[in-house]
Amino acid sequence: MIGNRKKSRKSGFTLIEVIAVLVILAVLAAVAIPRYISLIDDARDKALDGAVAAGLSHVSLTYGRLCLASGAEPTLAALATASAATPPSGADYTYTFTATAVGVTVVATETKADPRSATKAWVKP
């Protein structure tokens, strides 16, 4: 009675299959992790550029507000002081406004543990 014999077959993965999967995962990790870190740095840079643009926009709005309030162009020192008095809101960045010979320098700095900063100049129209 050969037909009555039960074939016992164990299911599972062979050692070669497990090693192949581990190698594939290691290659993916080696490629993906540096790319992910690079994306994080790029996002921080773009967010900082946006913060500087917000600071420049704030100086422009303050310039217009001061011109309308006094009926004359404000001095650059007064513009820098007024801009610093009410900086753009947000807990992620701090702003510094400094008068120069031709405009106002805007510096946005992150408030994180490893802060980055960016500087751009607003030029008087």
Q: For residue 119, which amino acid is it?
A: T
Distance CA 102, CA 76 (A): 8
Distance CA 82, CA 67 (A): 12
Task: Give Cα separations from 3 to 6, 8, 10, 103 (angstroms).
Answer: 8, 14, 20, 96
Residue 118, pLDDT > 90, answer yes
* pLDDT at site 117: 95
* pLDDT at site 6: 61
Q: Where are the domains of the chain?
A: 15-123
Per-residue pLDDT reduced to its tens digit, 3-43: 556 666 778 889 999 999 999 999 999 998 888 888 989 99
Per-residue pLDDT reduced to its tens digit, 46-100: 999 999 999 999 999 999 999 999 999 999 999 999 999 999 988 899 999 999 9
Dihedral Cα 83, 55, 97, 101, nearest 10 deg? -100
